[in-house]
Amino acid sequence: MAEERAAQTAGTSGVAVPDRGRLALLWAVTVVALAVHNAEELLRDLPRWQADHPRLPGSALYGDQAQFAVALAIVTGLALVLAVAAVARRAAWSAQVLVWVGYALLVNAAGHVLLSVVSWSFMPGVLTSVLVLVPVFVLLTRVLPPVRWTVSSVLVTLVAAFGVVVGSLVIAAALA
């Protein structure tokens, strides 16, 4: 019993990795939060909002509403596949990757807030950014062991997040 508890402790942080059921629940909450956020972006027509704000970054990326819907489905599907793989395989990396996903969601939320402030309008996705993504990030970083901040882990996370977003938009454009 003591060995099992020691095995669940992450490094020297003293924060225990949640059991499989709790980790699965955290993955589910994260995927649902992403899906709800993506639904707000879609329902409030983020591509139109971007087109209405051509001076802001990213206007050319989104394409039309149908293309954007495909990109959001790809991103949400990839998050679901990652969650299922992490939980089904009982992967040792699951908790750490989930925290990094939380950081990616926080960066996304911050972008929505920043662009809303700069544009003096509510960017589609800003409501769920503040009401859903930020609380999920706080939950993940309070419940899961802290991640190790290294240049390589930060770069890998940034490249992966950027690759998923841009890749989904490129695939959606190719399918259109």
- Strand, coil or helix: what is 73? helix
d(CA 78, CA 125): 19
pLDDT of residue 127: 98
Instruction: Reply yes or no on whether the pLDDT at 58 is more than 80.
Output: no
Mean pLDDT of 70-84: 95
Residue 165's pLDDT is: 84
Above 90 in pLDDT, residue 157?
A: no
Residues above pLDDT 70, as percent of the chain: 88
Q: Which of 71-75, 80-84, 140-144, 156-160 has the lowest mean pLDDT?
A: 156-160
Q: What's phi and psi for 120, nearest 5 deg? A: 55, 40
> What CA–CA distance (Å, rounded) separates 169 from 68?
7
In tens, the pLDDT along 164-173 reads 888 888 888 8
Instruction: Assign 9 to helix, strand or coil.
Output: strand
Q: Is the pLDDT of residue 133 over 90?
A: yes
The pLDDT assigned to 99 comes to: 94
More confident residue, 127 or 2: 127
How far, CA to CA in Å, does 2 sit from each of 19, 79, 95?
15, 34, 21
